[in-house]
């Protein structure tokens, strides 16, 4: 697979951004330059921040749709939706609509959900992980059914639909990117059903390799080609500011490519200018693309 680079734009506003949502600053000052070179744009799905619940934090679907209209040449994905935050049929309908409006640039990024305090605050039930992943599996089947059938019917363990039509159906079925880490339930689900797996290293490469191998083994067991699952990796790291930092960044990414990563999702925080962005593009992205 060709190496792809995704830009994760933070939707939070905090004391480091004068409480302006960073994505709003980036939309004006950073993304017009950056997204000429990046392959995808990612937006997190939470309802409030992690430092203080009063810090601004933009809703994910609304924000990604706003950006989709402003930047017409990149793939669009959430990082990642909590499946329990929205009814599955509504999620499928919203995804179909954004896929049509964006001219087939949408990828459904979704996970089982993990932030219990947020679920409680918004009045959502928060069942145990096995149930949340079973709900996620139902949701994926519902989405794919609604995207392809004129009379979609699905009877699941937790979610069902009966004739939940979603016209206009997308001409290109959105890929499904699952964010998961759990070795017993989440990663086997990725192997069975995902087009893309999103994860992060959490500082432990050996453990990540073990998780990658579980995904691949599960895919093979399900009769799928393990190599058909795109591996995306989220990296939270400042932009390089020197030539040597760029070289190290590029070396680190090349190493991860050898481990199977083909889509980097990069969270650079809150760069104030495009100078370090262009340094990354010219000294990291372009040489790696030339390699692959």
Distance of CA 100 to the CA centre of its chain: 19
Residue 149 lies in a domain: yes
Residue 64 lies in a domain: no
Determine the straight-line distance between the first and last CA of the chain, rounded to whole angstroms: 9
pLDDT, position 203: 76
Residue 154 lies in a domain: yes
Residue 150 lies in a domain: yes
* Domains contained in the chain, number: 1
pLDDT, position 53: 87
Residue 238 lies in a domain: no
Q: Which helix (H) or strand (E) holds 32?
A: helix 31-34
pLDDT, position 181: 95
Positions of the chain with pLDDT under 70: none
Residue 109 lies in a domain: yes
Residue 13 lies in a domain: no
Global pTM exceeds 0.95: yes
Which residues pair with residue 153 across a beta bridge? 162
pLDDT, position 136: 98
Segments forming the whole domain that contains residue 104: 80-179
Q: Which residues contact 95 (CB under 8 A, 6 or more apart)?
A: 106, 108, 143, 147, 170, 174
Residue 67 lies in a domain: no
pLDDT, position 202: 82
């Amino acid at each position: 697979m060709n190496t792809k680079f995704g830009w994760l734009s933070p939707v939070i506003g905090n004391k480091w951004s004068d409480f302006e949502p960073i994505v709003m600053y980036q939309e004006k000052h950073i993304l017009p330059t950056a997204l000429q070179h990046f392959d995808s744009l990612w937006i997190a799905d939470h309802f409030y921040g992690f430092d203080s619940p009063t810090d601004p934090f933009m809703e994910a679907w609304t924000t990604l749709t706003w950006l989709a209209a402003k930047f017409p040449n990149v793939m669009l994905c959430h990082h990642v939706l909590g499946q329990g935050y929205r009814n599955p049929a509504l999620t499928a309908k919203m995804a179909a609509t954004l896929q049509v409006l964006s001219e087939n640039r949408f990828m459904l990024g979704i996970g089982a959900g993990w932030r219990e305090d947020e679920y409680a605050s918004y009045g959502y039930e928060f069942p145990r992980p096995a149930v949340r992943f079973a709900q996620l599996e139902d949701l994926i089947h519902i989405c794919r059914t609604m995207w392809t059938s004129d009379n979609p019917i699905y009877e699941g363990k937790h979610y069902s639909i009966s004739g939940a039509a979603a016209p206009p159906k997308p001409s290109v079925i959105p890929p499904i990117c699952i964010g998961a880490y759990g070795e017993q339930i989440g990663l086997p689900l990725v192997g069975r059903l995902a087009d893309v797996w999103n994860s992060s290293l959490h500082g432990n490469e050996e453990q990540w390799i073990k998780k990658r191998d579980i995904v691949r083994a599960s895919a093979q067991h399900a009769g799928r080609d393990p190599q058909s699952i795109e591996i995306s990796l989220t990296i939270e790291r400042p932009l390089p500011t020197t030539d040597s930092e760029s070289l190290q960044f590029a070396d680190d990414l090349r190493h991860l490519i050898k481990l199977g990563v083909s889509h980097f999702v990069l969270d650079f925080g809150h760069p104030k200018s495009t100078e370090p962005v262009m340094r990354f593009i010219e000294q990291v992205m372009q040489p790696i693309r030339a390699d692959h």
